[in-house]
Structure 1
Amino acid sequence: MFYWISWSIWVYLTFILKKDNSYRRRLTTALLLVIILSNIHFPFWRFEINISGLFLLIICYTAISGEKRKTIIYFYICSFIVSIAYVTFHLFEIFDPIWLIFKKEWMVGICIGYLSILLEKTVRGRLLIIISGTMQGEILYAYILSRYEFPYQIGSFAYLDACALTAALLLGWSCIEKFASFFENYFNIIEKEKQKLS
């Protein structure tokens, strides 16, 4: 799922998005690096860390650091909320797996995506808090499991699948929001023209 969604987004950014978009080159390069690094991991202390997950976290921190102080604090709080939700979901999965109604990736994607929609208005902000929050949640979850001697790879393909699916759901929701605002403006214009004629 991670490769399918990532390549689809990369193809869109490379061939369909307007060439004059300022974010286009940076996004395509970052996404290509995430795909390339997705199969590389290294041991650190008691953990096994996937480089692409760490790379995503560094990108998010770099993007957030360029904001104003109040915005940085707000992003930190939002990503902390997402981290706690992510860890709680995975702990519930271990202790009470009966409540998982359908595939875990879809449930995580829907829950985290909905949470980001509630917390942030812009697509960029939503993606930043999703990626930073879930990756921080991965680190916290791995730490909790290490206390009980359970092995866990931070930023594994399961994480990348859930993260890619969440991003895809979020982008789909943003498209629906844009279409809704377009139709609302269109019908408002028609209504005003009718009022002028009458």
Structure 2
Amino acid sequence: MEGTMFYWICWSFWVFLTFVQNKKSPYRLKLSAIILILLYLSNFHFKAGSFEIRASGVFLLMTSYFFLIKEKRGAIIYYFICSLIVSIAYVTFHLFEIFDPIWIIFKKEWMMGIVFGYLAILLQKTLKGRLLIIIIGTMQGEFLYAFILNKFPFPYPIGAFEYLDVCALLVVLLVGWSFLENAGSIFQSHFHFFEKGKQKST
């Protein structure tokens, strides 16, 4: 069922941020509010000309733009280039799915998660940068793909649950990869803490 992965992941992140995350974290309240608003808007859609657009997708895009404009000018230009690369790759993936579906060798959501997650890791070094270019790039790709399909008789809703499932999976994969990247420093700090405790006890 479309949307199931999106709801499970969003609620899991919200529970973690609300009950587990350090309350002094500057991102805790903002991210919790963003997740709740995203969940609320996921069932709303509107028409813009011949396009059907989900409110949750537009909210994600606007929120990402808001965080992006706070960066320095040079960083914004690089983010824009990276998100454009993701957008082109996103549209290309969907077009290949239509014209040559045989190369989809396993579940499409996981293929997209692995491909675009790897692309984000190559293009950006920080988790924040990876999430920004993925959300901006894929949502821009949604608009471009819908514009291309508008010439054909079958409609394509922008930012639908199918997209939200892929986006949520990408977030999990990128957060998990970021944790693995920083696992060494995390374990090292814990080991140093234990070593200091042993030295004091001796």
Return the TM-score normalized by structure 1. Answer: 0.91
Q: Does 1:150 align with 2:149?
A: no
Match of 1:56 in 2: 60
Match of 1:20 in 2: 24
Structure 2 residue corresponding to 1:118, chosen from 106, 119, 122: 122
**Amino acid in structure 2 at the alignment position of 1:161:** D
**Amino acid in structure 1 at the alignment position of 2:12:** S
Match of 1:91 in 2: 95
Three-state SS of the structure 2 residue aligned to 1:43 is strand
Three-state SS of the structure 1 residue aligned to 2:46 is strand
> After superposition, where does 1:1-198 map in structure 2 within 5 Å?
1-182=5-186
In structure 2, C-alpha distance between the alignment counterparts of 1:107 and 1:68, rounded to whole Å: 33
**Amino acid in structure 1 at the alignment position of 2:150:** S
User: Where does structure 1 lack aligned partners over 5 or more consecutive residues?
Assistant: 188-198
Shift of 1:143: 0.3
Shift of 1:149: 2.9
Three-state SS of the structure 2 residue aligned to 1:67 is coil
Aligned-residue sequence identity (percent) comes to 61
Shift of 1:186: 8.7
Shift of 1:144: 0.4
Deviations 1:6-36 (A, max 9, x none): 1101111111110001111111001110011
In structure 2, C-alpha distance between the alignment counterparts of 1:21 and 1:182, rounded to whole Å: 17
* Equivalenced residues, count: 188
Shift of 1:150: 2.3
Return the TM-score normalized by structure 2. Answer: 0.89
Moved >3 Å (runs of 4+): 180-187
Shift of 1:178: 1.1
In structure 1, C-alpha distance between the alignment counterparts of 2:154 and 2:96, rounded to whole Å: 16
Shift of 1:147: 1.5
In structure 2, C-alpha distance between the alignment counterparts of 1:31 and 1:182, rounded to whole Å: 26
In structure 2, C-alpha distance between the alignment counterparts of 1:23 and 1:158, rounded to whole Å: 27
Three-state SS of the structure 2 residue aligned to 1:78 is helix
Shift of 1:181: 4.2
User: Where does structure 2 lack aligned partners over 5 or more consecutive residues?
Assistant: 192-202
Three-state SS of the structure 1 residue aligned to 2:153 is coil
In structure 1, C-alpha distance between the alignment counterparts of 2:153 and 2:124, rounded to whole Å: 36
